[in-house]
Amino acid sequence: MTRVLFVCHGNICRSPMAEFILKALVAARNLEGSYYIESAAVSAEETGNPIYPPAKRCLTQHGVWFDPQKRARKVVPADYERFDRIICMDVSNLRLIRRIIPEDPEGKIHLMMSYTGVGRDVADPWYTGDFEQSFQDILEGCEAMLGIR
């Protein structure tokens, strides 16, 4: 089983979107038993909060189910042992996760868009308000990770 942890700043926009997009892609291919998928934050400021409403709307518009009980949590050092892939949405997340998990001897920590061969961050809708662009970036990354694109 491949265990995937998606990471963004607050775990209320991009990383939960990635969690549920990948879960939908995996389910559509009958691979649920092959993947365990979660999301978390590099910051504690949103801990306990639900997915941000515009992110929920975007997922709903695309027919992607999400757990309404999902609450933000912060990455902890033990996550390194629990997950096979820890996928950050941007370079800032990557820098901050190194404060929580300073060593990556198994090469588990990656940038989302690295799966696509594009050297850029996933668009951050917190600042742009463009949840659709974030959705498309995440979908592209998830499809590339599964070898669909």
Instruction: Tell me which residues are annotated as active site.
Output: 8, 14, 124
User: HSE (CB half, 13 Å, CA atoms) of 100?
Assistant: 22
Q: Count CB neighbours of 59 within 10 A.
A: 20
Q: How many helices (H) and strands (E) does the chain have?
A: 6, 4
> Are residues 87 and 6 in contact, defined by beta-carbon separation less than 8 angstroms?
yes
- What separation in angstroms does the CA of 61 have from each of 66, 83, 108, 110? 12, 30, 32, 28
